[in-house]
Structure 1
Amino acid sequence: MSSCNSSIPQPEVFVLAGIPGLESYHGWFSLPFFLVFIIALIGNITIVFIIHAEKSLHEPMFLLLAMLSVVDLSLVSATVPRMLGIFWLNAKEISINGCLTQMFFIPSFYVMESGILLAMAFDRFVAICSPLRYTTILANNSLVKMGLAVIARTMVMLTPAPILARTLTSFRTNIIPYSYCAYMAMVQIACGDISNYILYGLMVIVTSIGIDLLFISLSYGMILRAVFQIPSWEARHKAMNTCGSHLCVIALFYSPVVFTFLTQTFGYQMPPHFQIIVDNLYFIVPPMINPLIYGARTKQIRKRILQVIHYPTK
């Protein structure tokens, strides 16, 4: 329940606070954010270009990686420019329609990325546990169905967010203490009974991120069981090495979510500015690190990149 002694009707313009309490440091924050943005753009465009141009990479694992890079490009493009506008130009005002648009697309790209990571875990599971059926199970039409399923799930889960937010009629303030329009941030500044709105937000997290992480864990549990049944240590090492890049990406992607969930579960209240910084990490760090991880750890991509920059390879 969120009651208000004095309230305002739903405003036509909201104010994004950026990182509350650290306004004087916005200029300093903009430097790493800008650097992350540039690295993410260059890295993911490079991955997509190489996979598109190199026909030998038109395999399920690499096509899923290309999907991941496209979603990463969309995610940083939807978040970082707006943050830089706040940090550099003090452009904090956003219309209600712009706010609702952000509220849909930013979490949509995040949920899509989680779905693609689940598909990549399934890819590794089939490759290691059922290698003879790999090309049959993961044919191109299967990848298309996976992609459509990820998009459909995202639409079903997140279309209600802006619709529900639009029904909020009164607010304590029009200041959203974030650098982007988040559904829960708008709900928390609303007046009246917001319990159903909060329930919806929790349901989205559990039925997307929670379920994806559960099935990814189950997939890798079965992968580990299959790997340890391989008698040859060399073959065992090779099998696990094919999963190394994906495991690094999974750890990077889900760590901030798990950290936030655990701190809230055990009643630890983080300073608001620290919580907002962690929330920003959800959206900007994985798109930067993912192409670096795959570029460094995947031999085929690393070799192609070195060829592009005319670096001699053996």
Structure 2
Amino acid sequence: MDSTTSEITHHFPPFFQVHKDGRVDRFMPSVFAPPTLNPQTGVESKDVLISPETGVKARIFLPKINGPDQKKLPLVVHYHGGAFCFGSALDTATAQFLTRLVSEANVVAVSVDYRLAPEHKLPIAFDDSWSALQWIGAHINGNGPELWLNQYADFGRVFLTGESAGATIAHYVAVRVGTTTGFPDGPCVRGAVMVHPYFADTKPNDVMRFMYPGSSGTDSDPRLNPKADPDSGKMGCEKVVVFVAENDEFGLKPLGVEYCETLKKSGWKGDVELVENKGEGHVFHLINPTCENALLLVQKFASFVNDDYVSE
């Protein structure tokens, strides 16, 4: 290979480096997990193409179905973490977590594989995630392109979730729901689950400037910092639970705590709850999905989704 094309022009450990010819090397590449039928839980998954124009995909997880009389199930819309530049809805960690959640909570889940920076500069990840919710909403009358959503999803009980940067996206989408004219005719977003959220409170560093050249700065950009968003009080959901990790190695615990206070002071009329994962680090539930605290996190998530639902 020509040494001029392999020359590294940008080096941002532990995230990625960029070559002169545009190639990107990720230092934490995703391990792809094919969609499957889990024999232990009966949860089945499959991949769908949301947008032929952008190539954005999603993975849908379906719990074990109890025959043709199966009632409609709550729908969880998931946005994966990874600092906007790595991670995937189609990777092993996401598959393990959502398979367990779908089985425990008896919900349908859609994990959105938005496009990653730096090849796709921010705010593309946010735009893809919002477009994905609109695509999901196209199934509300049972006439959408995906049979599982038409048949089994209850669009009156939709929940947004994400971990780390995915929680940042979930907040943004929840605000868009509350501020978009005409969206009341779409899915009814009941709540949001923010797991170890990444919310910025400092000036942009070099990697963020490279990934998001159009940003006004991480501490003043409403997509990255709810404190800077005048519309945070218009979140289009009724309740939020925020998980923070006691030993978060990226120092994000205080930002999660502050996020709760921001919502309380914003004029938003919903309920917010803070849950601390004692003795745990950032996104521990993806790294060690069978540990006791990871199982407790899933149980809490399931309770949050189902605590206001009375079976017909």
| TM-score computed with the length of structure 1 as normaliser | 0.29
Higher strand share: 2
Structure number, greater radius of gyration: 1
Higher helix share: 1
| TM-score computed with the length of structure 2 as normaliser | 0.29
Greater RCO structure (CA 8 Å; 6+ sep): 1
